[in-house]
Amino acid sequence: MRITRRLVLPHVFLLQGRGWEAAILKVCVLASGSSGNATFVATERTRVLIDAVLSFRELSKRLASIGEDPERLDAVLITHEHSDHVSGLPVLVKKLKKRRAPVYLTHLTAPAIAWNDCLPDLEAFQAGCRFSIGDLDVDSFTIPHDATDPVAFAFRAGGIKLALVTDLGYIPESIRYNLRGTNLLILESNHDLEMLKVGPYPWPGKQRVRGRNGHLSNDVVSDFIRDDLDSSTATLVLGHLSENNNHPELVRLVAGQALAGRSLATRLVIAEARRPTEVFIL
């Protein structure tokens, strides 16, 4: 797979030699970390936001930095109800009322969210089902996490596949299956086990993070890269890093060694909570 860099807009990375005008998918991780998460995915005709932690002002600012506008969103997808994924959702729903952009989430997640006085246009689905939003095909699949009904998503358009998988305690075979054939993978690498052990969390919190319904450690992600990362994955974005129990350069080192051990040409990117990633053009 040939990867080409071109300066089309600041912080833009092109996969498969595609020019901006020939893009099938446009992806930007707007925020990723234990303090908040939001990702933008677009085709030529469809624009969606996955998770909505950012304030409307901050969301507008970060989308504007990549030439986008929240008023053009066609839908919002929610992975689960934890505050680091939905705290900005009620205000966003109100702001998008005129556009009537629906919120996609599971039947069980919907009542677990504090909607306050907003009246969202809900598109509830069963975890594990497939649906379409415009010209974007979406697969949902269950993840092991301590939320009501948590899911991850894989997106397809024009033969290109993107997967977004965070907030999971381990990687079962069902998830490995859903990640096959992925061109761009956004995956959690939440904590370093030693930093977690000596970190500030109380013991129950440490047990939760490292449990089977908690979060992925750097070591688990390294094992996945070494044993199961699909060779079709041109770019691997690691995110949802803990502010207290991890460090971007440590994630880069551990994952980089695993990639080198397989001689993969996969590009490694570390996502952060305080700033967006570059824009990935597929």
pLDDT of residue 15: 60
- pLDDT tens per residue across span 188-214: 999 999 999 999 999 999 999 999 999
Helix (H, G, I), strand (E, B) or coil at 122: strand
Query: Quick check: 182 pLDDT over 90?
Result: yes
What pLDDT, on the 0 to 100 scale, is given for residue 9?
Answer: 43
Torsion of Cα atoms, 209 then 214 then 215 then 221, to 10°: 110
The fold of the 12-281 domain, in CATH, is Metallo-beta-lactamase; Chain A (3.60.15)
Residue 22: what pLDDT? 63
Band (pLDDT 50/70/90 cuts) for residue 46 is very high
Residue 270 to residue 203: CA distance in whole angstroms = 28
Question: Domain locations in the chain?
Answer: 12-281
> Please, are residues 75 and 99 in contact by the beta-carbon 8 Å criterion?
no
Q: Find, among 247, 133, 239, the residue nearest to 186 by Cα.
A: 239
pLDDT in tens, 244-259: 999 999 999 999 999 9
Question: 61-102: per-residue pLDDT in tens?
Answer: 999 999 999 999 999 999 999 999 999 999 999 998 878 899
pLDDT at 276 over 50: yes
User: Is pLDDT of 12 > 50?
Assistant: yes
**pLDDT of 109-149, one tens digit each?**
999 999 988 888 999 999 999 999 999 999 999 999 999 99
